[in-house]
Amino acid sequence: MWENAAVVALAAFAVLVAAYFTYGRFIADRICRLDPNRVTPAHALQDGVDYVPTRVPILFGHHFASIAGLGPILGPAIAVIWGWGPALLWVLFGCIFLGAVHDLGALFVSLRHQGRSVGEVARSVIGPRARLLSLVIIYFLMALAMGAFCNAIADLFVNFNPDAIIPSVGLMIVAVLFGTAVYRFRAPLGLTTLVALAAFAGLIIWGVEQPVCTYQWGLSAETVAAIEEGKNAPPEAEQRIELPYGADAAKRYLSAAGRNAAVEELATAVPQVQLRWIFALLAYGFLASVLPVWLLLQPRDYINSFQLYFALGTMLLGLSLAAIRGAEAAHIEAPWFRPDVPGSPPWFPFLFVTIACGAVSGFHSLVSSGTTVKQLDREPDARPIGFGAMLTEGALAVLVIMACAAGLKSQYWGPDGLYASWKGVGGGGLAAQLSAVVLGGAEFLNHLGIPAKIGRTFLAVTITAFALTTLDSATRLLRFNVEEICRSIRLEKLANRYFASAVAVAGIAFFALVSGKTLWTLFGTANQLLAGLTLLTVSLFLYQLGRPVLYTLVPMVLMLAVSSYAMIWKMLDLWGKQSWTGEERNLFLVSCGVLVLAFWLVAEGLAAFARGRVAADGLAADTGPPDGASPGAQRE
Amino acid sequence: MIEPIHVLLIREQAEQLTGGCCGTVGDDELVSGGREIFTDARRDQVALGALHRLIRDFFPPIDGKEQVRVDVVDPRNQFYLFFRLWREVWRYRPGLRAGLQTALQLFSLPAVIVNGQVISRRGRPLDADTFCQTVRQMRRRMETTD
């Protein structure tokens, strides 16, 4: 029974639902003491623009759409290599006791501080340096994530999915035409949307039919001929290059055919082509960040939203159908627990930092205290929105674990499969991990009658388009972030768009060129540091209110201890090497930087607790009516 | 007792739709320093915000009961919006043409829908007088039927 992915998924969903009604209720009612009579910022500051009281079903959708992204997909897809059991248990445990408490806590402190962001509240509760700490962690996070995206897209285009190049580049052109038609020529949105989606479908089919093998550009005529031979080999041939003709498959074919000179030539060419792609993507990021939003970012984001919902919906439907039919795709092929993966770092602590967003994510505090808190109608609504949405994200992570453990056929878990060793999925870089998700997801889409090759390209393009859209907006945001850091350390002269843009792009480029293989772990650690800062702020606020802090402080300590341990392990591993490559040196320096941030955070926390229950500057004035007292003003 | 008039304001949100945990941080003042990226969408938001305030001023609750119920939805929430629009059509049955127009508002933003009928859509901004008149007419019609 426990070998059926649908049964496991249903059992996991039942645990999450039970947690919502038990632990979620306990945290909301006993610890936060959410008060239905207290006036929320949405009512107190109602302006119809930002502060709008919104009913739960609507706000839940808005909040969930803002927190769900690539994070809960990527992390579980990698971590399942240590077995689906620990990955699933960490998602459930982390989600319930850490992630959901963190998200609800962020909403709670922000609610009680007139909807101010967690960073601003941290300044009030912890001290002025906490704001600078938040800004620096956010810089690391965003630059790391964008660097990882650039690296992964380049890798995906060259090694795994050359079929995604035409639709991805084509989508930019479709978006520009769409933006011009809709925002400048006032074309009807409905019709234009249908045309854009039809064009996009056409691009996918074109991409499937004609993968663009950029790694072949610049290869000798003999090597190209050998690769073409592999592509054109009959389906029954023992050795052939399968669609979509990625460099990875070409390398395997050439090795098996004993063409060593060609393998060497390809091995030299691939990193160079990837590097060119990275530079092209960085140039694109810079260009897109200076172009008007309506021309590229906004229309592509709009088209991408249809892709994303369609992909999630069909994957879910495909998994359900596979389970009902008892097909092979619903049978779990992955081992329950595999602590000794060849070449991998130890499962503890790395599993816990690899699955970051699916279990606990610091980014969520920015969403909770950014838009969501300003629309909360009643305080008790924070439970379904903060706690409930995080559990729903956990459910998404459960689905991804099942997609990889069961959706991928048994050969992926066999001796030569993607998950056979760390080199395949963990050490293979982000693109290899994304490729695992793409292949597993395509298996599910296949149950709905979508051909595997179309499903694979569609999912690869969805992920690429999402990453590129995020690159556009994140480059802009990173520029703002750098300007804020300069102001915080009183270097106002450097807080100009040119210097800030240069630092933003340089940060992304640095991480994109460091190494794609370890960026995800670093990203996970930095993300958990931000979550640690939020939990520290929540704990201090609860402490000042005289409430139990165990339920927020223990998760914080646990998370900081595990992520710091992972970081130190990685640094000691590098330290023990005889000589370092440039990449390893950079990685060591970045790890040092992240570790310094962690210690800074701990020091701030200890200092703040040492100050005791005395409210920091202006806290009492900011929090509105005293805790437990009936508010003078009633809700409108 | 007369049911409140249902007003649905569909507007674009001035932030990335598909950002997930990496893109949709723009609204946090700590990150953006209060600057706007999506200026066009923000303009639409502010315009609908004025209408929202007007509804509150002109149709305040009577004896604690609201005369008009307003929901603000944006296309990040496509799943909810899709079902909500069809539910509006099913509930108020505004006729085939008007019903189809309402059901397809998922694609045309910003829009104002009152009791299942589109009274303002993209490119046709709504003035306050027309809006108040429409709502009053609807209330009167409901009172008569009641």
* Whether B36 contacts B42, CB under 8 Å: yes
pLDDT of residue A316: 75
Q: Please name the residues between 517 and 546 in chain A that touch chain B, using a CB distance below 8 Å.
A: 527
* Whether A592 contacts A520, CB under 8 Å: no
Q: Please name the residues between 305 and 324 in chain A that touch chain B, using a CB distance below 8 Å.
A: 305-306, 308-309
Chain B residue numbers with beta carbons less than 8 Å from the beta carbon of A392 are none
Residue A610 CB coordination number (10 Å): 7
* CA-to-CA dists, residue A52 to A106, A116, A194, A365, A568, angstroms: 19, 15, 32, 19, 45
**Interface predicted TM-score of the whole assembly (ipTM), two decimals:** 0.89
Residue A529 CB coordination number (10 Å): 28
CB nearest B72 (choices: A52, A135, A189)? A52
* Whether A533 contacts A122, CB under 8 Å: yes
The DSSP output letter for A380 is G
pLDDT of residue A228: 92
Chain A residue numbers with beta carbons less than 8 Å from the beta carbon of B43 are none
- Name the phi and psi angles at B10, rounded to 5: -105, 120
pLDDT of residue A553: 94
Q: What are the domain boundaries of chain A?
A: 5-622
Residue B34 CB coordination number (10 Å): 9
Decide if B31 and A131 are in contact by the 8 Å CB cutoff. no
Which amino acid, one-letter code, is at A460?
A
Mutate to test the interface with B, among A293, A486, A537, A636 (most CBs of B within 10 A): A293
Q: Please name the residues between 17 and 46 in chain B that touch chain A, using a CB distance below 8 Å.
A: 17-33, 35, 37-41, 45-46
- Name the phi and psi angles at B64, rounded to 5: 75, 0
pLDDT of residue A627: 43
pLDDT of residue A303: 86
Q: Which residues contact A65 (CB under 8 A, 6 or more apart)?
A: B17, B18, B76, B77
pLDDT of residue A486: 87
The whole-angstrom separation of Cα A448 and Cα A198 is 19
The DSSP output letter for B113 is E
The whole-angstrom separation of Cα A279 and Cα A285 is 10
Chain A residue numbers with beta carbons less than 8 Å from the beta carbon of B46 are 49
How many structural domains is chain B composed of?
Answer: 1
The parent domain of residue B26 ranges over: 5-145
pLDDT of residue A631: 35
Q: Tell me which residue of A616, A303, A620, A440 sits closest to A5, measured CA to CA.
A: A440
The whole-angstrom separation of Cα A305 and Cα A52 is 24
pLDDT of residue B125: 67
Per residue in A488-546, pLDDT tens? 888 888 877 778 878 888 888 888 886 655 666 777 778 888 888 899 999 999 998 99
**Does position B112 have pLDDT exceeding 50, yes or no?**
yes
CB nearest B109 (choices: A189, A364, A481)? A189
Decide if A183 and B40 are in contact by the 8 Å CB cutoff. yes
Mutate to test the interface with B, among A366, A486, A635 (most CBs of B within 10 A): A366
Binned average pLDDT, 10 residues per bin, chain A of 636 residues: 83 97 97 96 92 92 80 79 94 96 95 88 84 84 84 87 92 92 83 91 92 92 92 86 88 90 93 92 80 83 82 79 69 89 86 82 84 92 96 89 78 77 68 75 84 87 81 80 84 81 86 69 79 90 92 92 86 82 79 85 84 53 41 35
Mutate to test the interface with B, among A47, A56, A62 (most CBs of B within 10 A): A62
Q: What tokens does A30 get? A: 């006993």
Q: Which residues contact A244 (CB under 8 A, 6 or more apart)?
A: A160, A161, A162, A163, A164, A208, A211, A453, A456, A457
Q: Please name the residues between 103 and 122 in chain A that touch chain B, using a CB distance below 8 Å.
A: 117-120
CB nearest A189 (choices: B50, B74, B107)? B107
pLDDT of residue A394: 92
Chain B residue numbers with beta carbons less than 8 Å from the beta carbon of A52 are 52, 72
The answer to whether residue B108 neighbours chain A at the CB level (below 8 Å) is yes
Taking each continuous run of H as one helix and of E as one strand, the counts in chain A are 26, 0
* Whether A489 contacts A270, CB under 8 Å: no
Q: Which residues contact A209 (CB under 8 A, 6 or more apart)?
A: none
* Whether B129 contacts B30, CB under 8 Å: no
The whole-angstrom separation of Cα A139 and Cα A146 is 11
Decide if B52 and A52 are in contact by the 8 Å CB cutoff. yes
At residue B91 the predicted structure's pLDDT band, cuts being 50, 70 and 90, is: very high
The whole-angstrom separation of Cα A503 and Cα A483 is 10
* CA-to-CA dists, residue B126 to A189, B85, B106, B130, B132, angstroms: 18, 20, 18, 7, 10
Decide if A46 and B80 are in contact by the 8 Å CB cutoff. no
CB nearest B24 (choices: A66, A135, A527)? A66
Q: What tokens does B87 get? A: 């539910």
CA distance B77 to chain A (A): 5
* Whether A111 contacts A383, CB under 8 Å: no
CA distance A241 to chain B (A): 34
Q: How many residues does chain B have?
A: 146
* Whether A448 contacts A322, CB under 8 Å: no
pLDDT of residue A361: 86
pLDDT of residue A520: 66
Decide if A473 and B52 are in contact by the 8 Å CB cutoff. no
Residue A50 CB coordination number (10 Å): 19
CA distance A146 to chain B (A): 9
The answer to whether residue B60 neighbours chain A at the CB level (below 8 Å) is no
Q: Please name the residues between 11 and 40 in chain A that touch chain B, using a CB distance below 8 Å.
A: none
